[in-house]
Structure 1
Amino acid sequence: MNGSTLHRTATACAEELPGARLEHPFGPGWEVFKVRGKVFLLMTEVPGQPVVILKADPGEARALRQENSYITPGYHMNKKHWITLEGGEGVDSRLVRELVTESYRLVVAGLPRAEQPVDPHTFGLGTGAAR
C-alpha cells in the first residue's frame, strides 16, 4: 500500500466511527481525528513520507514494532503508547482498519462512561474490524 492509499484508507475508517471528528489543530500539514475531544489518529507527511500515528496498547505496540518494519514508535508522541504506520509491502486495508479501530477503542475506553459513544469492550469485535 502506498502512502496516499494509506491515508485514504485510514480516513475512510475513521469517518465511520461513532463520534469521530476531523480537526486541524496543528495546521494544514496534520489531519487529526478525535472522539469527544481526545486524539486517536494523526496523519501527516511531515517526516518525509505519509504516515498514520495511532494509539496502541503498550504490549501490542511492542509486538507490532518487532514484527513489522513499517511500524515504528509514535512520531512526536509517547513512544510506549503510540505507533507510526508507514505505507509499504505488507500494509493492507485490513491492517489499517484494525489499527485505526483499536486506537479508537482505546481512547473511548479512557473516556467517562457517560461520554463513550460505544462500548469499547465490544465495539468492532464481532465484525473483524479489530483484534
Structure 2
Amino acid sequence: MTTAAALRSACLALPGAQETFPFGPQTMVFKVGGKMFALVPQDGTPPTMSVKCDPDLAAQLRETHEQVRPGYHLDKRHWNTVVCDGTLPDRFLRELLEDSYDLVVAKLPKRVQRELDWPGLAG
C-alpha cells in the first residue's frame, strides 16, 4: 500500500467505514460510527496514514520501526503516523488499520457494533 488510493481502498473495505473531509480536501478522514480511525493526506510522497493505537503498543512500534512516528497533529499518546514507503509489509499496514478500527468500534454503542457485525462483540 504505497499510494493514497490503496490506503483509501483498505480503509473503505472495513464495515461501516466512511470517508470524510473535515480538515479540507487534502486529507481523507475515515470514520466508523462518526469517530475517526484513520487519516490519509492525498498529496504525500510517500503517502502516510495516521491510525489510533494502544499507547503502550504505539510507543513500542515507534521504537521498532523508523517509519512509525508520533501522530502528526494528533494525540501522540494514542495516534501514530506511518510512512508507507514500501518498507513495511502491506499485511502489517492492514493490521494497523484494523487495530485502529477495532479500538474505535469497541467504544461505540453495542447497537452499532451489532449493526457492523463486529467480531469483537462479546455475547
TM class by smaller structure: 0.7 to 0.9
Counterpart in 1 of 2:8? 11
Q: Aligned letter for 1:75?
A: Y
Aligned with residue 22 of structure 1, among 16, 19, 24: 19
Show the counterpart of 2:49: 52
Runs (5+) with no aligned partner, structure 1: 123-131
Residues 108, 120 of structure 1: 8 Å contact kept: no
The question of 1:113 aligning with 2:110 is answered: yes
Residues 1-131 of structure 1: pairs in structure 2 closer than 5 A: 5-44=2-41, 50-88=47-85, 90-116=87-113, 117-119=116-118, 121=120
Equivalents in 1 of 2:43, 2:86: separation in Å?
21
Shift of 1:10: 2.1
What is the percent sequence identity of the aligned residues?
39
CA offset at residue 119 of structure 1? 2.9
Query: Greater CA deviation, 19-28 or 42-51?
Result: 42-51
Q: TM-score, normalised by structure 2?
A: 0.86
Q: In the TM superposition, what whole-angstrom CA distance separates every residue of 1:62-110 from its partner, at most 9, and x where no partner exists?
A: 1100000000000000000000000235312111111111100000001
Give the secondary structure class of the aligned counterpart of 1:85. strand
Unpaired stretches in structure 2, ≥5 consecutive residues: none
Cα contact 1:55–1:82 (8 A) shared by 2: yes
Specify whether residues 10 and 89 from structure 1 end up closer, same or farther in structure 2 by C-alpha distance, changes over 3 A only: closer
SS in 2 for 1:77: coil
